[in-house]
Amino acid sequence: MSLEHPILRQSFATIEAEVGEHHLNPEQWAIARRVIHATADFDYLDLLQFSPGAIAAAISSLQQGQPIITDVRMVQYGIQTLVDKTFQNQ
Protein backbone atom coordinates (compact mmCIF):
# COMPACT_ATOMS: atom_id res chain seq x y z
CA MET A 1 0.00 0.00 0.00
CA SER A 2 1.33 3.43 -0.93
CA LEU A 3 0.97 6.23 1.58
CA GLU A 4 1.54 8.88 -1.08
CA HIS A 5 -1.18 10.53 -3.10
CA PRO A 6 -0.73 10.52 -6.91
CA ILE A 7 -0.44 14.32 -6.93
CA LEU A 8 2.35 14.12 -4.36
CA ARG A 9 4.18 11.51 -6.44
CA GLN A 10 3.87 13.77 -9.49
CA SER A 11 5.17 16.74 -7.53
CA PHE A 12 8.12 14.70 -6.26
CA ALA A 13 8.89 13.58 -9.82
CA THR A 14 8.92 17.22 -10.93
CA ILE A 15 11.27 18.14 -8.08
CA GLU A 16 13.57 15.21 -8.93
CA ALA A 17 13.68 16.26 -12.59
CA GLU A 18 14.45 19.86 -11.66
CA VAL A 19 17.16 18.98 -9.12
CA GLY A 20 18.83 16.18 -11.06
CA GLU A 21 21.97 14.81 -9.42
CA HIS A 22 22.60 15.98 -5.87
CA HIS A 23 24.95 15.44 -2.94
CA LEU A 24 22.45 13.94 -0.48
CA ASN A 25 22.13 10.31 0.56
CA PRO A 26 18.68 8.68 0.15
CA GLU A 27 17.52 9.47 3.70
CA GLN A 28 18.60 13.10 3.46
CA TRP A 29 17.07 13.40 0.00
CA ALA A 30 13.70 12.16 1.25
CA ILE A 31 13.66 14.99 3.78
CA ALA A 32 14.99 17.65 1.42
CA ARG A 33 12.48 16.69 -1.27
CA ARG A 34 9.60 17.12 1.19
CA VAL A 35 10.97 20.48 2.35
CA ILE A 36 11.26 21.66 -1.25
CA HIS A 37 7.74 20.40 -1.93
CA ALA A 38 6.33 22.20 1.13
CA THR A 39 8.12 25.48 0.48
CA ALA A 40 8.54 25.52 -3.32
CA ASP A 41 12.07 26.73 -2.56
CA PHE A 42 14.83 24.77 -4.27
CA ASP A 43 17.48 26.69 -2.30
CA TYR A 44 16.81 24.32 0.60
CA LEU A 45 18.78 21.68 -1.28
CA ASP A 46 21.94 23.56 -0.30
CA LEU A 47 20.67 25.15 2.92
CA LEU A 48 19.68 22.02 4.84
CA GLN A 49 22.34 20.47 7.06
CA PHE A 50 22.10 17.08 8.72
CA SER A 51 23.91 16.13 11.91
CA PRO A 52 25.48 12.66 11.89
CA GLY A 53 23.03 10.15 13.30
CA ALA A 54 20.12 12.60 13.47
CA ILE A 55 17.91 10.79 10.97
CA ALA A 56 18.54 7.39 12.55
CA ALA A 57 17.75 8.84 15.99
CA ALA A 58 14.50 10.35 14.70
CA ILE A 59 13.43 7.07 13.10
CA SER A 60 14.26 5.19 16.29
CA SER A 61 12.18 7.64 18.35
CA LEU A 62 9.22 7.26 15.99
CA GLN A 63 9.49 3.48 16.11
CA GLN A 64 9.40 3.66 19.91
CA GLY A 65 6.19 5.68 19.75
CA GLN A 66 7.71 8.91 21.01
CA PRO A 67 5.46 11.95 20.51
CA ILE A 68 6.04 14.58 17.87
CA ILE A 69 5.68 18.05 19.31
CA THR A 70 4.85 21.03 17.13
CA ASP A 71 3.27 24.41 17.75
CA VAL A 72 2.07 24.70 14.17
CA ARG A 73 -1.35 23.19 13.58
CA MET A 74 -0.77 22.84 9.82
CA VAL A 75 2.39 20.82 10.48
CA GLN A 76 0.51 18.62 12.93
CA TYR A 77 -2.21 17.82 10.41
CA GLY A 78 0.33 17.34 7.63
CA ILE A 79 2.31 14.66 9.43
CA GLN A 80 -0.24 13.09 11.75
CA THR A 81 -1.83 10.71 9.26
CA LEU A 82 1.45 9.57 7.74
CA VAL A 83 3.12 8.96 11.09
CA ASP A 84 0.04 7.23 12.46
CA LYS A 85 -0.03 4.86 9.47
CA THR A 86 3.68 4.11 9.54
CA PHE A 87 4.61 4.14 13.22
CA GLN A 88 1.24 4.01 15.05
CA ASN A 89 2.07 6.90 17.36
CA GLN A 90 0.61 10.35 17.98
Maximum Cα–Cα distance across the chain: 36
Domain ranges of the chain: 1-50, 54-90
Q: What are the tens digits of pLDDT across the range 4-34?
A: 788 989 999 999 999 999 999 999 999 999 9
37 is catalytic: yes
In terms of pLDDT, which residue wins out, 2 or 68? 68
Catalytic one among 5, 22, 23, 37? 37
User: Is the separation of the CB atoms in 76 and 70 below 8 Å?
Assistant: yes
- What pLDDT does residue 52 have? 96
Q: What are the tens digits of pLDDT across the range 26-58?
A: 999 999 999 999 999 999 999 999 999 999 999
Q: Residue 87 contacts by C-beta under 8 Å, 6 or more apart in sequence?
A: 62, 63, 65
